[in-house]
């Protein structure tokens, strides 16, 4: 008869309530004591609030920011002008803190780190006054590689960017039509051959008049980004590019 009694029933039935939730909270607290989150740059112990971005505020400020024209200058050296607006947040420092972050993002099973970093990339895009896209599209991984890694790091970055810019994230649009070798082991010219024609649209979709923001983690030769932009451009889209970091050369 009592309405409060009726409300309590489903709460009691929830598996994560009561002792289970208490045990989980205790487990997390214990892990935090045994393995406290440390800054990837200076190994200082991080407060919990910063745990999903594994950097202290001092190391975050020290990361080398890419000048606004850095990525544009790199792209102007390429034969095809595939992108309208382009932006890189940081310069990739071989062996430095940024490489450790990228490694944690790519191989460290840290999908939430990707979203946190993506928000920073999205905020920088907005602060630069670049046009707000209609869609945010990550550079896809080939399906077996995505399954092996558990997630696509560019997709997690794109999720953070889409959230900040308040536009739809489309992970179903672009696909890898064939497997490609890891670009890191290949020479400059082999990188272009490796990814040429490796991307396509999942379904034929007219994108004329649409502004698409393509997202990747690191820009090295530009071969992957240019190849991924090709089917979007063929479908009529204006393609912009946003990356977490670009190499100096």
Interface with Zn ion by CB under 5 A: which residues?
39, 41-42, 56, 59
Q: How far is the CB of 39 from Zn ion (least distance, A)?
A: 3
Nearer to Zn ion, 15 or 95 (CB): 95
Nearer to Zn ion, 45 or 206 (CB): 45
DSSP letters spanning the chain:
--HHHHHHHHHHH-TTSHHHHHHHHHHHHHHHHHS--B-TTT-PBPPGGGTTS-S-HHHHHHS-BPPTTHHHHHHHTSSS---SSEEEEEE--TTSHHHHHHHHHHHS--HHHHHHHHHHHHHHHHHTTPPPPSEEEEPPPPHHHHHHHSS-HHHHHHHHHHHHHT--B-SSSEEESS----GGGS-HHHHHHHHTT-EEESS----TT-EEEEEEEEESSSHHHHHHHHHHHHTT-EEEEEEEEE---
Q: How far is the CB of 160 from Zn ion (least distance, A)?
A: 21
Q: How far is the CB of 50 from Zn ion (least distance, A)?
A: 10
Nearer to Zn ion, 55 or 159 (CB): 55
Q: How far is the CB of 55 from Zn ion (least distance, A)?
A: 6
Nearer to Zn ion, 41 or 133 (CB): 41
Nearer to Zn ion, 38 or 167 (CB): 38
Nearer to Zn ion, 37 or 111 (CB): 37
The residue written with tokens 């890891």 in the block is 182
Q: How far is the CB of 157 from Zn ion (least distance, A)?
A: 21
Q: How far is the CB of 38 from Zn ion (least distance, A)?
A: 8
Task: Assign 113 to helix, strand or coil.
Answer: helix
- Beta strands 238-246 and 174-176 are unpaired
């Amino acid at each position: 008869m009592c309405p409060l009694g009726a409300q309590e029933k489903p709460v009691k039935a929830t598996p994560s309530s009561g002792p289970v939730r208490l045990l989980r909270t205790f487990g997390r607290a214990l892990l935090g004591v045994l393995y406290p989150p440390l800054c990837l740059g200076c190994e200082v112990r991080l407060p919990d609030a910063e745990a999903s971005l594994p950097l202290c505020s001092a190391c975050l400020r020290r990361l080398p920011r890419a000048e606004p024209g850095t990525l544009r200058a790199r792209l102007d050296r390429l034969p095809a002008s595939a992108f309208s607006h382009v932006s890189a947040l940081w310069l990739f420092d071989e062996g430095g803190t940024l490489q450790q972050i990228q490694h944690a993002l790519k191989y460290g099973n840290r999908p939430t780190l990707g979203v946190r970093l993506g928000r920073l990339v999205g905020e920088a895009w907005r602060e630069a006054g670049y046009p707000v896209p209609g869609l945010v599209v990550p550079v896809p991984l080939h399906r077996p590689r995505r399954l092996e890694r558990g997630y696509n790091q560019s997709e997690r970055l794109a999720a953070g960017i889409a959230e900040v810019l308040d536009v739809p994230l489309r992970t179903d649009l672009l696909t890898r039509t064939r497997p490609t070798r890891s670009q890191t082991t290949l020479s400059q010219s082999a990188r272009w051959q490796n990814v040429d024609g490796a991307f396509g649209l999942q379904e034929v979709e007219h994108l004329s008049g649409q502004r698409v923001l393509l997202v990747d983690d690191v820009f090295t030769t530009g071969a992957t980004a240019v190849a991924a932009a090709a089917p979007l451009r063929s479908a009529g889209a204006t393609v912009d590019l946003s990356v977490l970091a670009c190499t100096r050369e």
